[in-house]
Amino acid sequence: MTELTTLTLAEARDRLRKKDLSSAELTAAHLAAMEKARALNAFVLETPEQAAAMAKASDARIARGDAGPLEGIPLAIKDLFCTKGVRTTACSHILDNFVPTYESTVTSQLWRDGAVMLGKTNNDEFAMGSSNETSYFGPVQSPWRREGSNTPLVPGGSSGGSAAAVAAQLCLGATATDTGGSIRQPAAFTGTVGIKPTYGRCSRWGIVAFASSLDQAGPMAKTVRDAAIMLRSMAGPDAKDTTCVDLPVPDYEAAVGRSVKGLRIGIPNEYRLEGMPAEIEKIWQQGCAWLKSAGAELVDVSLPHTKYALPAYYIVAPAEASSNLARYDGVRYGLRVPGKDITDMYEQTRAEGFGGEVRRRVMIGTYVLSAGYYDAYYLRAQKVRTLIKRDFEQCFAQGVHAMLTPATPSASFGIGEKGGADPVEMYLNDVFTVTVNMAGLPGIAVPAGADAQGLPLGLQLIGRPFDEETLFALGEVIEQAAGRFVAQPWW
């Protein structure tokens, strides 16, 4: 029954509806695949019993004609989403054995629509990382390998477990979160589709916070259509999140296959980086050609503040994180390391509970917010953010519908290859994606080709606020032209 794991979400949904497939079979096939793929370390917690029970309930609902939009579809959930009664750690030692008594809004909407939970996926600790190497549970191995090489590669991050699980066909889709590129970069590294919707499109309630003004949930999937189906269930208003917008959720799937004729696509000049690999430049040109032949119009645009985006991001995000992570103090839940007094307990707990990258960012964030430095760093970064946002607004005001850029400056790299000596080397992975978070815009990464060693490369489409539909329409054009990229199992 392994072929069941090769189905797309849309195909599986259609077969479940036709009742020529049960959710129990489909779920069992994925649970079996997960078991075989443990070498990838994509899951930090498998929930086979819960999955079987949910699948059974789905089959009953399908039988009585009461199926939801995701009925019976087995999904993987990033460990940043709080799941009621199921351990949620954000892959941090400090949340050791934390079991929420509540369910995040996004996942509760997936279950409302009939989806089945397979387990919790690995991620960089508190979503801080671009390679899934900062997880307390260890790195995730990408299902992809360079041709003729056994070097273990990173799946990207922070949603590395979700990306690997989708790419290795261990699930039909996965939830993820994106603060600076954590959905789009791993999607690009693993040949999967990932969309970070507009800030405010999905509720943040019940998702472990990294940087509140940047965090946004989104799906990772095998195809553009699958991502559209999932986002429809994940998005929507939530009174429990003030920053979540009260806008109706469109039928995103209906936008897949919609004509892109006449759409004006901006090609931002500033994304043409010095020293960028020729392969990246090549797929970018290829993407332009595909969109053009589908009837879109390409226009050169300028986003002059792009070069300040990454430094500004690495001020704003750690600043918010330093405050968001203050609650992990050993007092109420999670890890507590005893100390001789309360301050000592805090220090021991946080020193042991947080990994190196998290500690680094908490310290950066504390520094940039401290008296005497606030204006020079945090305030300035916020001003840069306003300018970045304005760059995009001016382009959109000139009639640009979306922009096409590379998703990452390179293909996947080997575990342990980057950032060891200089963390900035790792941070540069986010150079094309952070602008989108800083501006609060929607961005989708779609596989568009492979490098010389056979590793997938992705393109990014950036849209107008709350116009995810155009991104799905354009993404579908690229996917149709480029074809799908499926990893060959070595595990």
Partner 1 sequence: MLVPRAAGTGMAMNVQQKPSKLIKGATGDWEVVIGMEVHAQVSSRSKLFSGASTEFGGAPNSHVSLVDAAMPGMLPVINEECVRQAVRTGLGLKARINRRSVFDRKNYFYPDLPQGYQISQYKQPVVGEGEVVVDLDSGEAVTVGIERLHLEQDAGKSVHDRHATSSAVDLNRSGVALMEIVSKPDLRSSEEAMAFLTKLRSILRYLGTCDGDMEKGSLRADVNVSVRRPGEAFGTRCEIKNMNSIRFIGQAIEHEARRQIEIIEDGGVIDQETRLFDPGRGETRSMRSKEEAHDYRYFPDPDLLPLELSEEMVGSLQAALPELPDEKKARFMRELGLSAYDAGHLVAERETADYFEAVANGRDAKLAANWVINELSGRLNKEGQTVASSPVSAAQLGGILDLIGDKTISGKIAKDLFEIVWTEGGDPREVVKARGMAQVTDLSAIGGIVDDLIAKNPDKVEQAKANPKAMMWFVGQVMKASGGKASPQAVNDILKTKLGL
Positions marked active-site? 78, 158, 182
Q: Is 351 in the site for partner 1 (CB under 8 A)?
A: no
Q: Is 36 in the site for partner 1 (CB under 8 A)?
A: no
Structure token pair of residue 49: 């019993």
Of 254, 289, 326, 424, which lies in the binding site for partner 1, with binding defined by CB under 8 A?
326
* Beta-sheet pairing, 264-268 with 402-406: parallel
Of 11, 96, 241, 297, which lies in the binding site for partner 1, with binding defined by CB under 8 A?
241
Query: What are the C-alpha distances in Å from 431 to residues 173, 267, 311, 355, 442?
Result: 26, 16, 10, 24, 16
Task: Give me the least distance between CB of 259 and partner 1, in Å please.
Answer: 37
Where does this chain touch partner 1 (CB under 8 A) — which range of 198-206, 293-301, 400-408, 422-430?
A: 198-206
Q: What order of strands is seen across the sheet that includes strand 74-78?
A: 43-46, 116-121, 74-78, 173-178, 216-221, 193-196, 443-450, 456-463, 402-406, 264-268, 297-301
CB distance 283 to 407 below 8 Å: no
Q: Is 366 in the site for partner 1 (CB under 8 A)?
A: yes
Of 207, 231, 426, 434, which lies in the binding site for partner 1, with binding defined by CB under 8 A?
207
Q: Is 16 in the site for partner 1 (CB under 8 A)?
A: no
Within positions 252 to 311, which residues make up the interface with partner 1, using CB under 8 A?
none
Residues 25-57 as b or e (16 or more Cβ within 10 Å = b):
ebbbbbbbbbeebeebbbbbbbbbebbbebbeb
Where does this chain touch partner 1 (CB under 8 A) — which range of 17-25, 45-53, 92-100, 256-264?
A: 92-100
**Residue of 168, 232, 195 lying closest to 476 (CA atoms):** 195
Q: Is 348 in the site for partner 1 (CB under 8 A)?
A: no
**Residue of 472, 483, 482 lying closest to 231 (CA atoms):** 472
Which CB, 102 or 490, lies closer to partner 1?
102
Which CB, 319 or 444, lies closer to partner 1?
319
Q: Is 381 in the site for partner 1 (CB under 8 A)?
A: no
CB distance 32 to 76 below 8 Å: no
Of 139, 143, 186, 206, which lies in the binding site for partner 1, with binding defined by CB under 8 A?
206
Which CB, 323 or 453, lies closer to partner 1?
323
DSSP letter assigned to residue 77: E
Structure token pair of residue 143: 């299902």
Q: Is 90 in the site for partner 1 (CB under 8 A)?
A: yes
Where does this chain touch partner 1 (CB under 8 A) — which range of 3-11, 88-96, 135-143, 218-226?
A: 88-96
Q: Is 217 in the site for partner 1 (CB under 8 A)?
A: no
Task: Give me the least distance between CB of 343 and partner 1, in Å please.
Answer: 8
Of 70, 75, 153, 209, which lies in the binding site for partner 1, with binding defined by CB under 8 A?
209
* Beta-sheet pairing, 456-463 with 173-178: unpaired
Where does this chain touch partner 1 (CB under 8 A) — which range of 31-39, 247-255, 272-280, 326-334?
A: 326-334
Amino acid making up residue 93: H
Q: Is 125 in the site for partner 1 (CB under 8 A)?
A: no
The conformational region for residue 328 under phi > 0 = left, psi -120 to 50 = alpha, else beta, is: beta
Of 47, 104, 141, 405, which lies in the binding site for partner 1, with binding defined by CB under 8 A?
104
Q: 15 in helix, strand or coil?
A: helix
Structure token pair of residue 30: 């994925």
Structure token pair of residue 274: 């010095």
Task: Give me the least distance between CB of 322 and partner 1, in Å please.
Answer: 8
Task: Give me the least distance between CB of 79 and partner 1, in Å please.
Answer: 11
CB distance 11 to 223 below 8 Å: no
**Residue of 345, 309, 341 lying closest to 328 (CA atoms):** 345
Nearest 5 degrees, angle CA 178-CA 51-CA 221? 35
Q: Is 352 in the site for partner 1 (CB under 8 A)?
A: no
- Measured over all CA atoms, what is the biggest interatomic distance in the chain, rounded to whole angstroms? 69
Q: Is 100 in the site for partner 1 (CB under 8 A)?
A: yes
CB distance 96 to 51 below 8 Å: no
Show the site string, 135-154: x = touches partner 1 by CB under 8 A, - = not: --------------------
Which CB, 243 or 394, lies closer to partner 1?
243
Number of residues that bind partner 1 (CB under 8 A): 43
Q: Is 101 in the site for partner 1 (CB under 8 A)?
A: yes
Q: How many residues does the chain have?
A: 491
* Tokens 């309930």, located at residue: 57
Which CB, 50 or 366, lies closer to partner 1?
366
Q: Is 374 in the site for partner 1 (CB under 8 A)?
A: yes
Structure token pair of residue 244: 């979540």
Is cis: bond before 158, omega within 30 of 0?
yes
Which CB, 87 or 258, lies closer to partner 1?
87
Task: Give me the least distance between CB of 393 and partner 1, in Å please.
Answer: 19
- Where along the sequence are the contacts to partner 1 (CB under 8 A)? 82, 88, 90, 95, 98, 100-102, 104, 204-209, 211-213, 239-243, 319-320, 322-323, 325-327, 329, 331-333, 342-343, 346, 366, 369-371, 374, 378
